[in-house]
Amino acid sequence: MTPRVASAQATLSGRVTDGSGTPIPGANVYVKDSDRGGATGEDGRYRLSSIAPGTHTVVVSAVGFRTVEKRLTLEAGTEQRWNVSLRATVLQRDEVVVTGTMRETYVKESPVKVSVVGTERLQQGKTSANLMDLIGSVSGLSTQLNCGVCGTNAIRVNGVEGANTAVLIDGMPIMGALASVYGLNGISPSIIDQVEVIKGPQSTLYGTQALGGVVNILTKDPANTPTISADVYGTSTREGSINLAASPEIGRFKGFVSGNAVRMENYVDENDDGFADQAKRSRLALFGKGTLTGVNGEERLNVAAKLYAEDRTGGPPTFTDDLRGSDEVYGESIYTRRAELLTEYRPSGLDERLRLRGALTYHNQDSYYGPEHYVGTQKIAFGQATWSQSVTEGLDLLMGASARYDMYDDNTPATTVADRRFIPGVFGQGEFSLGDVTVLGGLRFDHHDEHGVVTAPRLSAKYSPSDHTTFRTSAGTGFRVVNVFTEDHAALTGSREVVFEEDLDPERSRSVTASVEHILPFGTNPLTVSVDGFYTRFANKIIPNYDQNPELIVYENLDGVSVTRGFSVRVDQNFTTLPISYDASMTLSDVYTEEDGERQAVTYAPDYMGNVGLSYNINAIGATVEYTGSLTGPKRMPDLYVETYGRDRWSPMFTTHDLKLTKEFLGVNGPSGVGVDAYLTVENLFDYTQGSPLVGQDDPFGRQDDTVFDTIYTWGPMVGRTVSLGVRMTLR
């Protein structure tokens, strides 16, 4: 047989809309008998290339719409167009996900509850080139500002501290503890296809760091990106951003390259504390991804690389980078440099059952916090091999082995020599389906030099008595080795001394989650209701004590337990009679420690959180109006700030509101293939801010007796109303 060459492949493209002609973004289009597939863009357009010629079944699905399948005959060397109009239905979610079971499946079929958030929902009502500014719109997720001067932040899942969340890039655990301080701020939404979130234990598949949950950031597939795109915006705070991207294609190779530059050098001090409300920053991020397909169009090799450089400066108006390390003018200056290389290889002839993955990362942070100089470097090498095997109808096995090498070094007394860790591991899981019931069991073994073999079991189950209702439950354990200086920004900033009362033991956790999802028809306007419960119990929890001594931050293992428990409710609905969609969620949580019979709320964990998003398409003028709102409940603040500086023990409840208008001036589906739209965003619409996050700012070097300078009395927005104006161009 003569093998087909790349030039003999076929291409399928088109547009997916609803009954009124409104584009459906995020709809899944895939060729059933191959691995070719992708999601539609904001304009509902899709393009699948490198499809083997012949007759195929093509499937189109979207949340709230009836799935369409059609047999199409595709000819070699041609591009065939197929436009699809979907009808509303009450079927469950059909997004393709990979996080929950490490193999591609559908949301409705996964025994593990996975929340899928596309870039359209992430950017609903907001404008930002920083993922961390957007992730708080996801139900149960929040960002905690850890420094009111330099602006570092972390992701919390159901109130659990950010260090307990495993952040993955394309399924790879390469975001080390040092990167979690500033590296997450360098991920631009322009390179993201979707974000998958699992709340609860996931250590069996993703290592012992995933105690609280997993956030998997999936980058764009080069086969489904525009030929050229550009996005430029400016804000009323004088932040400017430009993003350029292109998708070259040479034979069986398809690529996606993107560059993002952000600059904000404006000094703003609306709370009059003498320090900038928002750190100045200059950022450059470059991203490239390439896919090499086999002779029949199947994916064989994926390679992605990312370079990220950022300089940020915070402090009084007289502080500049020329004063780094000054003992006269307190300021914080952080230089971050990061590089990532990720690859996946699928050998031919094995029906893609074997997958080999690898990653290399380098992260360097050169910082001054006042006169304190902190230099940290972290290097990670990660490799993983997985084999999936269908044993019988209804029984699938997944087996794998991984190895992680982690080198961390800094100039603090805690690291007199570089910390080097080699962690090999093996894992396996079996998924069994019988009728309406699916059970997933798994076990992982990791070896740590200091702690020996660590096991991480998990068990998940799903019961779907009908297409409208699904019950899920999961249980598992977690294990985490802590590095205080990389995970807790308070250990570096301010004027307080860090003290370790003992050698810190690893944190351990046991978690249980349960959920029910039900779809109410409401005619042709299906309403999905989800209720989730969660419970995590930590042992050896490491919690900083800010109150034992006003001049110290004391770290030690908790002798008792730390518990995170609660539940969340989420509803979302797509109207077909009107071009409106909305979603809303509320999470109530109880996060506390119990030691020597005394129970106390954990600082900075909100009692409740809520989110709402609304989108309305004005088809007559080609415009879209989007609204997002958030509700944050009270957080307990450190006692020191209450007793010494008279600050409130509990932060107040507050809300924020954002509004975005997007107007299409030129449709990408026109004869020119060029799309142009403009957008106007007003964030923090009612100009709500928390006031100063600083204590002791009149003596930032702590030279006076009984004074402490800290930057972490943070609980709410630091920046008031912000207006953004941008233009986006796309060429197919």
- Where do the domains of the chain lie? 1-89, 179-731
Which pLDDT band, with edges at 50, 70 and 90, does 484 fall under? low
Hunting for tokens 């090799």 — which residue is that? 301
Mean pLDDT of 603-612: 91
- Looking at residue 283, what is its pLDDT? 94
Of the CA atoms within 13 Å of residue 46, those in its CB half-sphere come to 28
Of the CA atoms within 13 Å of residue 377, those in its CB half-sphere come to 8
What's the pLDDT tens digit per position in 133-163? 888 777 777 788 888 898 888 777 777 776 6
- Cα separation of 628 and 318, whole Å? 37
What's the pLDDT tens digit per position in 278-293? 999 999 999 999 998 8
CB 271 within 8 Å of CB 691 = yes
250 - beta bridge partners? 253
- Cα separation of 163 and 175, whole Å? 11
Selected residue with higher pLDDT from 76 and 363: 363
- Looking at residue 5, what is its pLDDT? 37
Mean pLDDT of 712-719: 91
Measured from the Cβ of residue 639, the count of other Cβ atoms closer than 10 Å reads 16
CB 707 within 8 Å of CB 214 = no
Selected residue with higher pLDDT from 355 and 643: 355
Which pLDDT band, with edges at 50, 70 and 90, does 4 fall under? very low
Q: Give whichever of 79-83, 648-652, 671-675 has the largest mean pLDDT.
A: 648-652
Average pLDDT over all residues of the chain? 83
CB 142 within 8 Å of CB 656 = no
Among the residues of 556-710, which ranges form H helices?
639-645
- Cα separation of 335 and 325, whole Å? 13
The verdict on domain 1-89 having CATH code 2.60.40.2140 is no
- Cα separation of 5 and 19, whole Å? 39
Selected residue with higher pLDDT from 397 and 702: 397
- Looking at residue 477, what is its pLDDT? 84
Say whether pLDDT at 90 is over 50: no
Say whether pLDDT at 683 is over 90: yes
CB 606 within 8 Å of CB 633 = yes
Measured from the Cβ of residue 236, the count of other Cβ atoms closer than 10 Å reads 15
Mean pLDDT of 435-450: 89
- Looking at residue 64, what is its pLDDT? 64
- Looking at residue 608, what is its pLDDT? 93
Q: Give whichever of 32-36, 307-311, 450-454 has the largest mean pLDDT.
A: 307-311
Mean pLDDT of 245-253: 89
Say whether pLDDT at 615 is over 80: yes
Selected residue with higher pLDDT from 569 and 80: 569
Mean pLDDT of 235-241: 95
- Cα separation of 583 and 576, whole Å? 15
Say whether pLDDT at 494 is over 50: no
- CA 701 from chain centre, in angstroms, equals 36
Q: Are strands 332-345 and 507-520 parallel, antiparallel or unpaired?
A: unpaired
Closest CA to 17 of 27, 7, 9: 27
- Cα separation of 168 and 184, whole Å? 11
Hunting for tokens 């990791």 — which residue is that? 446
Q: 575 to each of 612, 618, 625, how far by Cα in Å?
A: 16, 14, 15
Q: Are strands 497-500 and 552-555 parallel, antiparallel or unpaired?
A: parallel
Could you say which DSSP state residue 92 is in?
Answer: -
- Looking at residue 427, what is its pLDDT? 92
Mean pLDDT of 528-553: 76
Mean pLDDT of 477-500: 57
- Looking at residue 554, what is its pLDDT? 65
What is the percentage of the chain residues whose pLDDT exceeds 90?
37
What's the pLDDT tens digit per position in 195-206? 888 876 666 677
Say whether pLDDT at 67 is over 90: no
Query: What kind and span of H or E run contains 30?
Result: strand 28-31
Selected residue with higher pLDDT from 376 and 574: 376
69 - beta bridge partners? 59
* Long-range interactions of 693-697: CB distance < 8 A, separation 24+: 693/145, 693/148, 693/718, 694/148, 694/149, 694/273, 694/275, 695/641, 695/644, 695/645, 695/647, 696/495, 696/645, 697/273, 697/274, 697/275
Selected residue with higher pLDDT from 323 and 224: 323
Which pLDDT band, with edges at 50, 70 and 90, does 6 fall under? very low
Lowest mean pLDDT among 6-10, 463-467, 701-705: 6-10
Mean pLDDT of 486-510: 59
Closest CA to 33 of 334, 432, 351: 351
Mean pLDDT of 159-168: 73
Say whether pLDDT at 424 is over 90: yes
Say whether pLDDT at 527 is over 80: yes
Architecture of domain 179-731: Beta Barrel (2.40)
- Looking at residue 490, what is its pLDDT? 47
User: Which segments of 346-436 are extended strands (E)?
Assistant: 354-369, 372-392, 395-410, 419-434
Closest CA to 266 of 728, 719, 725: 719
What is the percentage of the chain residues whose pLDDT exceeds 70?
84
- Looking at residue 330, what is its pLDDT? 93
